[in-house]
Amino acid sequence: MKKKLMFMAIAAAFLGMAAVVPAQQAKLSGGVVKIGILTDLSGLYSDLSGQGSLVAARMAIDDFLKQEKNPFKIELVSADHQNKGDVASNKAREWFERDGVDMIGDLVTSSTALAVMPVAKEMNRVTIVNGAASTNITGKACTDLNVHYAYDTFALAIGTGRAVVKQGGDSWFFLTADYAFGHSLEKDTSDVVTAMGGKVLGAVRHPFPGTDFSSFLLKAQASGAKVIGLANAGTDTTNSIKQAAEFGITPKQSLAGLLMFITDVHSLSLKTAGGMYLTEGFYWDFSDATRAWSKRFFDQHKRMPTMVQAGIYSSTMHYLKAVKDAGTDEAKAVVRKMKDTPVNDFFAQNGRIREDGRLLHDFYLLQVKTPAESKGPWDYYHVRQVIPAADAAIPAAKSECPLLKK
């Protein structure tokens, strides 16, 4: 009887060991999972991504290793793509061919994301876009190895565009960054404005990045539009807002910051930005879970996270869990596992990745508080509306991604 019990105990131990073998001995290229954060470390988007994206990625890696008891080796590398598509694609190819990078994340700036995605597809590697917004990423340019995680221009237009028109802003003129992101944001917002009975009186496109917006703002002023839609981001947006105030354009005409981040509001101050509407996929003060994670982030970065940085953490964690569950870092297997597994964390509840790579999750229509309304540091927003995931994503039937046509 004792021998039988001993045999059963040994058998149970072996079964227990077998359950953890796939995680501990995953089939990894080079024996390591290598993640690259390719971002803007020195330019106009460095505040909303940049070093904060690296902090978020490192937090995700550290948390995963603690939770999973070191299932495999993970390395993190980073580089500055300078918001240039050629620099980004060259660095991606170097990382894939020479350094064995398995996944590239962030890719702030649509031109860099759209340049890197086909390289990753060619090399059978994963890209996870958090910082770029063009709907082409999950549209014409979609690949089965890419995930578009944090936000896109469709969601921004649905949130801010609708809210401003409902408030009476039914005539628009666009000030647009002259590259893929700006064009996409202008188009998506124009579609929303006209669908609601409003009018688009014109648009002017400025160089990317820009510094002097005076001539463009004067054209917007001359249009007589009630709303000047800022289809730009980062310091292009904050400089546009500051210069509009200097020229006396506001408050006679309203400004709609179609892509603004909490770091932009922090830079502008509540006195300047108070009352503006914006749409984001994350706000640090939304729930107990967002506050808890954001406090940890703040302790390291000394700034509250943007939706890009929060998305970096969530997507990196989701990727690593998929590698563990798939038992390999092979790109197709990992992305398949990511799509088959719901996202439930502080960033997204009941989120899922659609076949075109778009993470479907809720968005928030926010209004910037006035100085009198704010109760403390980084208390910047009223949450005016939760936009359900189903409304914030391009309907599958209208998508140009071939992956949704199968």
Supply the pLDDT for residue 406: 67
Residue 372: φ, ψ to 5°: -70, -30
> What is the b/e burial string over 130-162, where b = at least 16 CB atoms within 10 angstroms of the residue's CB?
bbbbbbbbbbebbbbbbbbbbbbbbbbbbbbbb
pLDDT digits (tens, 9 = 90+) for 192-210: 999 999 999 999 999 988 8
Q: Where in the chain is the domain with CATH 3.40.50.2300?
A: 26-151+286-357, 154-280+363-388
Q: Given a cut of 80, is residue 104 above it in pLDDT?
A: yes
Beta-bridge partners for 27: 328
> pLDDT for 152-167, tens place per residue?
999 999 999 999 999 9
Looking at per-residue confidence, does 74 or 15 come out higher? Answer: 74
Confidence band, pLDDT 50/70/90 cuts, at residue 57: very high
For residue 313, give every residue at least 6 positions away whose Cβ sits within 8 Å of its Cβ, in sequence order, or none. Answer: 56, 57, 59, 60, 293, 297, 347
| Superfamily of segment(s) 154-280+363-388 | Response regulator (3.40.50.2300)
pLDDT at residue number 211: 86
At 343-382, the pLDDT tens digits run: 999 999 999 999 999 999 999 999 999 999 999 999 999 9
pTM of the predicted protein model = 0.91
pLDDT over 70 percentage in the chain? 93
User: What are the pLDDT digits (tens) for 117-142?
Assistant: 999 999 999 999 999 999 999 999 99
* Host H or E run for residue 360: strand 359-360
In one letter, which amino acid is 270? L
Q: In 124-234, which ranges are continuous DSSP H helix?
A: 153-156, 162-166, 180-195, 214-223
**Mean pLDDT taken over the chain:** 92
Average pLDDT over residues 59-68: 95
Query: Would the pLDDT of 278 be above 50?
Result: yes
Q: Which residues contact 242 (CB under 8 A, 6 or more apart)?
A: 268, 272
CATH homologous superfamily of 26-151+286-357 equals: Response regulator (3.40.50.2300)
Structure tokens at 395: 């309907």
Query: pLDDT grade, residue 75 (50/70/90)?
Result: very high
Render pLDDT for 170-181 as a digit per residue (tens, 0 to 9): 999 999 999 989
